[in-house]
Amino acid sequence: MLCQNCNERAASIHITKIMSGEKREIHLCDQCSALHEMFNSSFNFQGFIANLLDLEENTHAVDYSHSMEYHCPQCGMDYDTFKKHGKFGCEKCYETFSLLINPMIQRMHGKEQHIGKIVKYGGENIRLKRELTSLHGNLSLAIEKEEYEKAALLRDQIKILKEQIKDNIKS
C-alpha cells in the first residue's frame, strides 16, 4: 500500500482515528509520518503512565502512602522515579513494585498476569501447551469434586494434546 500523502513510498505507519463515532484510517510512509500532526502533537508518554499510576483517588485497595519507601534492591529505582519516567530500571522492579502497579495492570488487561500473545504462524505448540495446562487444572478440579467421568474425558484430551505436541516437535 502506498503512502496517502506522497503516493511514492510504501506505507509503514497505519493510523486509525475514531472521532465522534467516525472511523478514519491514514496510511503513511516513515518520512511523511514525521510531518504528520499526530506525531508532532504534545503527547507525553511519561505523563500518560504517571496518570495511569495515579490511582489514589480511584481505589482504596492499595495503600500508596508508603510508595516513597519502595526501592528496587537490584537497580535502586524508587517508585516516584518510575512514575516520572514511565520505565522500570530492571526486571526486578516488576516484582518490587507489584503491589503498586497490579491495580493498573488489572484495569488495562483485565488480569494481573500478562501471558502475552501467540504469533499467528508458528505458535501452535505454545497454544497447545497453554491448552494442556488448562486441561490439567480442570482435571485436578474434576478429581477433587469426584467427577470421575469428566476426569476420564479430560485425561483422554490431555493424551491427545501431548501426542499433537510430540508430532509438531518431530516435524
User: What is 52-99 written as a DSSP string?
Assistant: HH--TTT-SSS--TTGGG-B-TTT--BHHHHHHHS--SSTHHHHHTHH
Q: Is 11 helix (H, G, I), strand (E, B) or coil?
A: coil
The amino acid at 38 = M
Residue whose grid cell is 530492571: 90
Q: How many CB atoms lie within 10 A of CB 69?
A: 8
Could you count the other beta carbons within 10 Å of the beta carbon of residue 139? 19
Let me know how many helices (H) and strands (E) the chain has, helices first. Answer: 8, 2
Tens digits of residue pLDDT in 90-139: 888 888 888 888 777 777 666 666 566 666 666 778 888 889 999 999 99
The neighbouring-strand residues paired with 28 are 13
pLDDT of 55 strictly over 90: no
- Encode burial over 42-58: b for 16+ CB neighbours within 10 A, e otherwise: eeeeeeebbebbebeee
**H/E element, 28:** strand 22-28
Q: What is the pLDDT of residues 4-33, one digit of tens each?
A: 888 998 888 887 877 788 888 888 887 777
Report the residue count for the chain: 171
33 class by beta-carbon count within 10 Å (0-12 exposed, 13-18 middle, 19+ buried):
buried
> Looking at the whole model, is its pTM more than 0.85?
no
